[in-house]
Structure formats: C-alpha cells, structure tokens
Amino acid sequence: MKAARYLRFTRNSVQTMLAYRANVLFYIFGNIVQTLVLWYLWRAIFAGAGSGRVNGFTLGEMAAYLLAAVAAQSAIGGNAEDVISEEIMEGSIAVNLARPLDYRTRIFFGHLGASLYNCVVVSLPALAIGLVASAELGGAGVRLAAFAASLILGFALHFFYKFMLGLTAILTTNVWGVFNVEAVVSGFLSGALVPLAFFPDWARTVTGLLPFASMVSAPALAFAGKLTGADLVRTLTVQGFWVVALALLSSWAWNSLVSRVSVNGG
C-alpha cells in the first residue's frame, strides 16, 4: 500500500512525457540520426582498415554495440536531475519536503517512469534492430540476459548520480551550464559515442574504472558479446561497487545540502 503512494509519481511521469509528444519525437529522431551517423562512420573505418576486425570489434559487434548503447542510454535516462533542480529554482522543494512522503523515494519513482517510457519508445526498438543486425553473433538469449543484468545496475547507478547532479542547484541555483558540460563529459566517458576499446591503454584503464563506463559501456559490451565469463562477473562487480558508493555519497550529499536549501521562488 505504501508503494502505491509512490507509483502514482511513476504514472504521472509517463503521462507528462506523453503530453509532450513533439519533444519525444525529436528525441527519437535525434537518436536515429546519431546512430546512423555513427554507423556509417564506423562502416567507413572498417572499410578503410582493410581488416574484418578493428580494436577487437567486428563490424557486426560494432553494430550491436552502437544500438545497445542507444538502448542503454535511453533506458537509464530518467529525469531526476531536472525535477530536483526545477523544484529548487522554483522554491517548490520547500513544500515537497514538508509532505508526508520521502523526497528521495518520490524522485526515484518519477525517474523510473521517465526511464520506462524511454524503454518503450527507444530502447526496445533499438534492441530489436540490434538483434537482427547481430544475428551472426549468436547467443541472443545469453547476450540479452547479460545486458539486462548490467542495465539494472547501470540504472541504479545512474539514478544516484543524477540525484547528486540535481542537488548542485542548491549550490549554483542556475544549472544550465553544469548540465551541458556534464552531458558532454559523461557522453564521452561512458562509451556512448566511442567504445572505450578505442581509447589509449592508460585512458581505457582509467575510464573503465569510473562510474560512467558502468552506465552505458558495460551493458552495451554485454549485448555485443564482448563480456563473458570472468570478464562479465568482474564488470558486474565494478558496477555493484559504484551503485553502493554513489548511494552512500548521494545520501551524504542530501543530508549535507538539504539544510541549505534556499527558496528562490518566493
């Protein structure tokens, strides 16, 4: 019964996204354009390499990776940071904190609704195309199971990360610049644009241990069949570590900053 009080925020989040269909259509269109551009770019790279394998990837594996990266990025892409920062700037967070609901739990369920919507409109179609495009790789069931396990951890990690990002509004008030810089940095370091295997050895080692890689690169590699056995277990362990670490860090940040909330909306 208690969970039902929060599930309505998931429903409201979905309904809000449905109300702004034009934005959703542009979002889908943007994903399609980005994927096609990257696909033709990588196809040209493979053609120019004169080899069927580049940095450990075949063209089929690269196709699977690109589509899985789109699916993962969309599936974890909730709206926690937007909701938190907007409430802080409007001043409505003061009212919401006074309600008999746990604020962080409410934000989580709203974030979940946006992610579920993205899953339906972007992630599932991308995965379906990815399965067809990478049929020659085989083991579709195993790859999907590994992808799902990694994606669940990536979603949890991404929520705690975005929750902390939203809290920066308490310190900066205007978060437009912060969010834009963060989008560029996380997009690059997460492997959403370029697989981390194409980074220099030292950069690949460092970025592979950062939380960004656990959000997109890990599930995408699992779907492409590049993570199996001990490698998959090690990757899931790293993801699990970052989930716990960011959960604790976000809790500390919340307890430290919530008392400094300034009401800017009157």
Report which listed range, 71-80, 102-111, 191-200, 235-244, is most confident: 235-244
Residue 212 pLDDT greater than 80, yes or no: yes
Residue 262 pLDDT greater than 50, yes or no: no
Q: Give mean pLDDT, residues 157-174.
A: 86
- C-alpha distances in Å from residue 180, one per residue of 38, 96, 187, 250, 256: 21, 27, 11, 21, 25
Task: Supply the pLDDT for residue 37.
Answer: 85
Q: Give mean pLDDT, residues 61-83.
A: 88
Determine the Cα–Cα distance for residues 203 and 198; give it in Å rounded to an integer: 9
Report which listed range, 115-129, 179-193, 235-249, is most confident: 235-249
Q: What pTM was computed for the model? A: 0.89
Confidence of residue 265 (pLDDT cuts 50, 70, 90): very low
Contact 106, 9 (CB under 8 A): yes
Contact 147, 219 (CB under 8 A): yes
Residue 153 pLDDT greater than 90, yes or no: yes
Question: What amino acid is encoded at 38 in this protein?
Answer: L
3-class state of residue 201 by DSSP: helix
3-class state of residue 19 by DSSP: helix
More confident residue, 21 or 62: 62
Residue 174 pLDDT greater than 80, yes or no: no
pLDDT above 70 coverage of the chain, percent: 96
Taking only the tens place, the pLDDT of each residue in 93-148 is 878 887 888 888 899 998 998 899 888 888 888 888 888 888 777 788 889 999 99
Task: Supply the pLDDT for residue 246.
Answer: 95
Residue 266 pLDDT greater than 90, yes or no: no
Task: Supply the pLDDT for residue 216.
Answer: 92
Burial 154-176 (b: 16+ CB within 10 A, else e): bbbbbbbbbbbbbbbbbeeeebe
Residue 43 pLDDT greater than 90, yes or no: no
How high does pLDDT run on average in the chain? 85
Contact 223, 144 (CB under 8 A): yes
